[in-house]
Chain A
Amino acid sequence: MQLTSTFKLVFLKQMLLGVQLSAASSNSMSFHERKNAIKLSADAAIAFARGRTRWSQGLITNLSKNEKNKDILKSLLGRKYDNLRKPYCKSLKIPRSKKILRRCLRMCSRRKKAGRAQHDVCKSVLAKALAKKRIQVLKKLVPGGESMDGFSLLDETLDYAMSLKAQVDVMRRLLKTSKALNIKQMKAWGQGGLDFTAGGHL
């Protein structure tokens, strides 16, 4: 699916570009600024790699709320920036999506057929209220989730979660590789004694 190596490679490349663009390795940045630049690049990169989905659009919209970020995003994403900012056709809150969500929830829980006791009715009312509350939480977690409902919310959630997983995976590997390179470099320096020009050799 989309946890493919192509996605991850595109993501990595885009993230590194973003980091470079925001000059995160320059010494003039504070740690905090550097971290934010990395996070911005990482988020822009998953949106870029994934293409146009509701969540990726929501993500770019959220990131663009900061004017400074907006400029970086524009140069990083190029044409894709406008593509991702283009609004989806206005989602009408049709009663249909509520029905679909109800169907989803019904399919999750096993349902006792005949002879429902009063107790069971209370339980199911509570379960529905709980589910409703959790859907509100989910809407806040998924970018652009506030305007989604029903099936599309769950669909976008799945897609978003998979992209996040890939993001974490790549960042972990980037960290591991960078650390390993750092250590090698330090060792090389150490072996060369005070001769720091030996540092380039791996």
Chain B
Amino acid sequence: MSGRGRRITDEEINELISKLQSLLPESRRRNAGRMSASKLLKETCSYIKSLHREVDDLSDRLAGLMTTMDSNSPQAEIIRGLLRS
């Protein structure tokens, strides 16, 4: 079973929170001390949203690029090589 029966220690919680905080761009910029709970959640939500937007934008641009790609192009050859390995 998933170890749900065991008690989660304070240390684990602390570690999780500081890992989350160090991931956020805002906290890296200002090198802030501990954020408040709601701020941490807010920043986490904005961060995930911005990552989603980036993936969307990158997909747009990759899609645009692929129109110029055909099966004889060097990109296709490289991709085929990568997939063979």
A interface list, Cβ under 8 A from B: 12-13, 16-17, 19-20, 24-25, 27, 31, 34-35, 38-39, 42, 88-89, 94, 100, 103-105, 107-110, 127, 130-131, 134-135, 137-138, 141-142, 151, 154-155, 157-158, 160-162, 164-165, 167-168, 171-172, 174-175, 178-179, 181-182, 184-185, 199-200, 202
**CB contact under 8 A between A175 and B63, given known A141-B48, A157-B44, A161-B48:** no
Nearest A residue to B36 by beta-carbon distance? A109
Chain A proximity mask over B33-73: 1 for CB below 8 Å, otherwise 0: 01111101110110111011011101111111111111111
Give the shortest distance, in Å, between A109 (CB) and chain B (any CB): 5
B44 with A17: CB separation less than 8 A: no
Contacts A42-B59, A199-B72, A202-B74 aside, 10 further interface pairs with beta carbons under 8 A come to A25-B70, A25-B76, A35-B62, A38-B59, A100-B13, A107-B14, A127-B36, A161-B23, A164-B51, A175-B58
Give the shortest distance, in Å, between B25 (CB) and chain A (any CB): 10
- When chains A and B are docked, how far (Å) is the Cα of A154 from the Cα of B40? 11
A167 with B61: CB separation less than 8 A: no
Give the shortest distance, in Å, between B72 (CB) and chain A (any CB): 7
**CB contact under 8 A between A160 and B20, given known A88-B2, A108-B34, A172-B58:** no
The B contact surface, by secondary structure, is: helix
The count of chain B contact residues (Cβ–Cβ below 8 Å) is: 54
B44 with A138: CB separation less than 8 A: yes
| A-B interface contact total, Cβ < 8 Å | 153
The A contact surface, by secondary structure, is: helix
B83 at the A/B interface (Cβ < 8 Å)?
yes
B37 with A131: CB separation less than 8 A: yes
A182 with B38: CB separation less than 8 A: no
Contact of B55 among A17, A24, A42, A137 (CB under 8 A): A42
Give the shortest distance, in Å, between B45 (CB) and chain A (any CB): 5
B36 with A135: CB separation less than 8 A: no
Instruction: Sample 25 A-B pairs with CB under 8 A, ordered by A number.
Output: A12-B82, A27-B67, A34-B63, A42-B59, A103-B13, A104-B16, A107-B13, A108-B34, A110-B34, A131-B41, A134-B38, A137-B41, A138-B44, A141-B49, A141-B52, A154-B17, A154-B20, A158-B19, A161-B44, A164-B48, A164-B52, A167-B55, A178-B75, A200-B72, A202-B74
